[in-house]
Amino acid sequence: MPYTLDLARLIFPSTEVADTIPKIVAAYNLLNAEDRLALLWFAYTEMGTKITPAAMSSANMVFAQATLTEIKQMPALAQTQVMCDLVNHTDTPICRTYSAFGTNVKLGFWYQLSEWMKETIVAPIPKGYKLSSKAADVLKSIDRLEGGQQLTVLQEIVVNMGFAAMGGTPTVTEPVIPPKEAAPRAKVTIKGIKNATVLSYMEDMNAFDFPAAVALFAADGALKPPFQEPIVGHDSILDYMHKECYGLKLLPEQGVSEPAEDGFTQIKVTGKVQTPWFGDRVGINLAWRFLLDGEDRIFFVGIDLLASPQELVELGLVR
């Protein structure tokens, strides 16, 4: 039976995905606007010793600078209203502009606001503000997560703020980090994996050579990021990589490979990815689930945020 995208998503079904992340994000989205703003501010400030301020240089903040300057120059009440509009998905020019930013720019946008709030340049959370019991529970849940999962929660929260009209808002097409040249290419080795396509994919992604990485996919191949629907086709995958993958460092560690039906091969690799926001101090534990067709092209790769680091050392037992 020929593989379909739905069938491809089922390979290595025992992968232990961090399904607490969408639950925490869903609980956050049920809070009122004031609690969502306060919780976001507390999360940024309490994680301030972990977030790398130098990450701001890894996000091309020129795309957000005009909006940040506009907010900075507003009266305090108007600043608070803008932030409430963003979390409430209100249809305003600033909310539409925000929706066009890439993930790293959105993270940088709120990081800058949190810094200005600490300096009272932007209206801060009122002194002595107490989170509601529900919001306090969400913050405790975030605090219990490991660093990589905390960053993922922040990403999921900020990505969905703003307002996108029906059909979606046109996104900023320039890369988050517009490199003058590709990053240095380093050879990747993965314990248990010799497949040239998988090794090349990792090397291309680390070199930010996204056209080369996309060329490894079948014409109708798909990439499924964590907690998102699959992205199908070369053009769409390349667009996603340009917007979301600059600055990432993939650190695959080990994998297993086994034959599948119709001449396909399924390969699972576990390892970590480092982002500019936490630098090399924190790695996000990931699994890459590849399904390769008979010509060794990528028909599907699912990227999963792992529930715990344990699967990194137990891959041989997980099929």
Q: What is the pLDDT along the chain (319 residues), one digit of tens a residue?
A: 578 889 889 899 888 888 889 999 999 999 998 899 888 888 777 664 456 555 666 566 777 889 999 999 999 999 999 999 999 999 999 999 999 888 888 888 988 898 898 899 999 888 788 889 999 999 889 888 887 888 888 888 988 899 976 544 444 444 444 444 556 788 999 999 999 999 999 999 999 999 999 999 999 999 999 989 999 999 999 999 988 888 889 999 999 999 999 899 999 999 999 887 766 667 889 999 999 999 999 999 999 999 866 655 554 434 3
Residues 188, 142, single domain; the answer is no
Beta strands in the chain (DSSP E): 217-224, 231-232, 249-259, 265-274, 284-292, 298-305
End-of-domain residue from the set 127, 159, 191: 159
Closest residue by Cα to residue 154 from 104, 193, 192, 190: 104
Closest residue by Cα to residue 248 from 278, 291, 222: 278
Residues 85, 194, single domain; the answer is no
**Distance between CA atoms of residues 291 and 97, nearest Å:** 37
Residues 42, 119, single domain; the answer is yes
Q: How many CA atoms lie within 13 A of 302 on its CB side?
A: 22
End-of-domain residue from the set 124, 159, 194: 159
Residues 107, 227, single domain; the answer is no
Residues 154, 182, single domain; the answer is no
| Residue 236 belongs to a domain | yes
**Distance between CA atoms of residues 61 and 177, nearest Å:** 10
**Distance between CA atoms of residues 299 and 220, nearest Å:** 7
Q: From the CB of residue 288, how many other CB atoms can be counted at a distance below 10 Å? A: 22
**Distance between CA atoms of residues 211 and 179, nearest Å:** 14
Residues 210, 134, single domain; the answer is no
CATH of the domain at 65: 1.10.2090.10
| Residue 202 belongs to a domain | yes
Backbone angles phi, psi at 6, to 5 degrees: -65, -40
Residues 45, 72, single domain; the answer is yes
| Residue 140 belongs to a domain | yes
Q: What pLDDT is attached to residue 129?
A: 83
Residues 124, 219, single domain; the answer is no
End-of-domain residue from the set 102, 128, 159: 159
| Residue 225 belongs to a domain | yes
- Specify the pTM: 0.78
Instruction: For 151-188, give the DSSP string.
Output: HHHHHHHHHT-S---TT-PPPP-S-SS--SSPPPP---
| Residue 35 belongs to a domain | yes
Residues 93, 212, single domain; the answer is no
Residue 84 contacts residue 37 (beta carbons within 8 Å): yes
Q: What pLDDT is attached to residue 175?
A: 43
| Residue 145 belongs to a domain | yes
Task: Label residues 162-182 b or e (16+ Cβ within 10 Å = b).
Answer: bbbeeeebeebeebbbeeeee
| Residue 10 belongs to a domain | no
Residues 41, 76, single domain; the answer is yes
| Residue 237 belongs to a domain | yes
Domain that holds residue 65: 31-159
**Distance between CA atoms of residues 245 and 275, nearest Å:** 9
284-292 and 298-305 strand pairing: antiparallel
Total count of domains within the chain? 2
Residue 6 contacts residue 313 (beta carbons within 8 Å): no
Q: What pLDDT is attached to residue 54?
A: 58
Residue 306 contacts residue 16 (beta carbons within 8 Å): yes
Backbone angles phi, psi at 288, to 5 degrees: -110, 120
Residues 148, 247, single domain; the answer is no
Residues 94, 185, single domain; the answer is no
CATH of the domain at 263: 3.10.450.50
